[in-house]
Amino acid sequence: MTDRITVGRLFPNAVSPQPVRRTDPEPRVQTSSFDAMLQNQLVRFSHHAEERLRQRGIQLGPEQLVKLNTAIDKAASKGAKDSLMLINDTALIVNIKNRTVVTAMDGASMKDNVFTQIDSAMIIS
């Protein structure tokens, strides 16, 4: 037993480990799924809006949805938050940030109505 023991070491003459070099994995590029990308690009309808569309017999065709999508993009570029959008004889309240139609009204429901909690209005032709 001629080995030297130093304070702080458990084993005499132990080889100290080399510092561990960690190689950071390549940074992940966040690729969103196709579905998530579509959700960010397309118009969504809240449950309330879907009920109102069904109750009032309002049908929006693909052409109208494309126009609505374009109108939301324009409203977003102007800084709008909640917008009243008029398409033909239909009024839609749209949350611009979430790209979500909150409620919908037909021409008969719009008469003598006051629209509140909107910061912009857009007439889509």
> How many angstroms separate the CA atoms of 106 and 8, rounded?
82
Q: What are phi and psi of 50, to 5 degrees?
A: -60, -40
**Residue 23: is its pLDDT beyond 90?**
no
> How many angstroms separate the CA atoms of 59 and 123, rounded?
18
Pairing label, strands 100-106, 44-45: parallel
Bigger pLDDT: 6 vs 113: 113
Residues contacting residue 84 through CB under 8 Å, at least 6 positions apart: 91, 92, 93, 94, 115, 118, 120, 121, 122
The amino acid present at 86, given as its one-letter code, is L
Instruction: Name the average pLDDT for the chain.
Output: 82
> How many angstroms separate the CA atoms of 52 and 5, rounded?
83
Specify the pLDDT at position 69: 94
**Residue 67: is its pLDDT beyond 90?**
yes
What would the pLDDT profile of 34-56 be if each residue is shown by its tens digit? 565 555 568 999 999 999 999 99
Tell me the torsion sign for CA atoms 85, 115, 109, 44.
positive
What would the pLDDT profile of 77-88 be if each residue is shown by its tens digit? 999 999 999 998
Angle in degrees, CA 17, 19, 21, rounded to 5: 135
